Structure 1
C-alpha cells in the first residue's frame, strides 16, 4: 500500500480490529507483531508511551514491509515528526489541538485525531477530518453516544478505543459509523 495516498478511511477499512501495542522492547514488538500478523492482522498501532516505541516502529516496518504500522498516542507536533522519521505510516492521537490538527494536514502520513464530544467533532470537521478516534470510548458513553453522534454527524466514521473488550467489541462494530475499533485489550500485559 502506498502510504502517500492512503487515507484514514482506508486504514480503518482494512480490518475491524486495530491492535494497539504498548511494548517494552523492540524484540517484544516484533514477537507480538508476528503473532498478530499470523492471526490475520495487517495494521498495527504502536503507542509512543514507552522509550522504545519509535525503534519498534522502525523495526516492524523493516521486518514486515507489507503491514501498515502507525504511531499512537501522538500528543504534539514533535511526536508526529518523530513518528514520520521512524517510518510510521499513519498517526493517531487520543485528542486534538489546533496546532496538531493544522500540522498533520501538511504532513505525508494520515492522521486520526481523538474526540470525546460534539464540540471536538465539530473542530475536527472544520479542519477536514472525518475519521476520528473516539476516546475514551466506554468512559465517554460508549455505544449509546456513538449512536447519538450518527444523527448530527453522518459523515463521520469513528474508531472507538478505551474500554473495548472481547465482551463489547461486537456492540461497537454493529454501528454503521464504526468501521473499526482499537485498543490494547487483545495484546494485554498478560497476553504478552
Structure 2
C-alpha cells in the first residue's frame, strides 16, 4: 500500500518513546493485532537503532519509522537499520531532503502555514501538526483551505480517543499517538488495552 492508503486503512502511528530493544517486539504484537500499520521508535529512546532493526526484520509488512530525527546523519542511520519512515519535531529542509534522497517517507513537524508550505516544497510526504495541543480542529480546517489539495495533516501531541472524531471531521488524515497509547514500563497487556481503545474510536 502507498503511504496514503496505509493511513486510510488505519489512521494511527504508534509512538513508542522510551521503548527498549528487549521489549519492543512483545509490545508491537498487540499493536499489530489492534490494526496498527505504522510503528515509530523515537531516537531519544534507549538503543533506538536496535529496536528499529528488530521491528523491521520481524514485521516486514509494518511500516517502521524513527521519530525525533534531527539531522541528515540520523536519516542515514535509520535507513541502515531498516527504517522506512522519518518523523521530525521540526521542519529542517536539509533533513527532509536527505530522507527523500534516501527514498524514505518523511513527515516533518510544522506549527505554522509558512513551515507547512516550506516542508512541502522540500518534498514532505505529510505534515505533522505539532504540538497538536496548540492546534485544535479549527486550525486543521483553516489549513485545509489553503494547503494543496490532498495534503496529509497528522496532529501529534495530546491525542486521546475522544479527540479523534473532531479532528477527523476537520480534515485530519491520521494521528501520531504518544503517551496516551504507550508510556515506558507498560506491559504488552496494558498497551493492548490502550491500542484497542484507539481502534474503537476509529471504528466509531
Question: Does the alignment reach a TM-score above 0.5?
Answer: yes
Separation in 1, partners of 2:94, 2:183? 32
Aligned residue number for residue 143 of structure 2: 149
State the partner residue of 1:112.
Answer: 107
Tell me what 2:201 maps to.
none
* Runs of 5+ consecutive residues of structure 2 not aligned to the other structure: 188-204
| RMSD between superposed Cα atoms in Å | 1.8
1:121 equivalent to 2:116? Answer yes
SS of residue matched to 2:170: coil
CA distance in 1, matches of 2:104, 2:112: 25
- Which range moves more in the overlay, 121-130 or 164-173? 121-130
TM-score after normalising by structure 1: 0.87
Residue pair 1:20, 1:47 contacting (<8 A) in 2 also: yes
Instruction: After TM superposition, give the deviation of residue 26 of structure 1 in Å.
Output: 1.0
| Change in CA separation of 1:181 and 1:54 when aligned onto 2, cut-off 3 Å | same
Divergent runs of 4+, >3 A? 189-192
Query: 2:63 matched to 1:68?
Result: yes
Q: How many pairs were matched up?
A: 185
Compute the displacement of 1:113 (Å). 1.2
The answer to whether structure 1 residue 89 and structure 2 residue 84 are counterparts is: yes
Would the aligned equivalents of 1:89 and 1:109 in 2 still touch at CA under 8 Å?
yes
Find the counterpart in structure 1 of residue 98 from structure 2: 103
Report what 2:72 is aligned to: 77
TM-score by length of 2: 0.83
- Cα deviation per residue 1:141-170 (whole Å; 9 max; x = unaligned)? 221111111111142221110111122122
Alignment pair present for 1:164 and 2:136? no
Contact 2:6 2:37 in 1 (8 A): no
State how far apart, in whole Å, the 2-side matches of 1:17 and 1:95 are.
20
SS in 1 for 2:157: coil
CA shift in 2, pair 1:63/1:125, >3 Å: closer
Alpha-carbon contact 1:16-1:173 (below 8 Å) kept: no
Match of 1:27 in 2: 22
How many Å apart are 1:52 and its aligned residue? 1.6
Q: Are the aligned partners of 1:9 and 1:131 in contact in 2 as well (CA < 8 Å)?
A: no
Q: Aligned partners of 1:169 and 1:32: how far apart in 2?
A: 23
Select between 147-156 and 181-190 the one with higher mean Cα deviation.
181-190
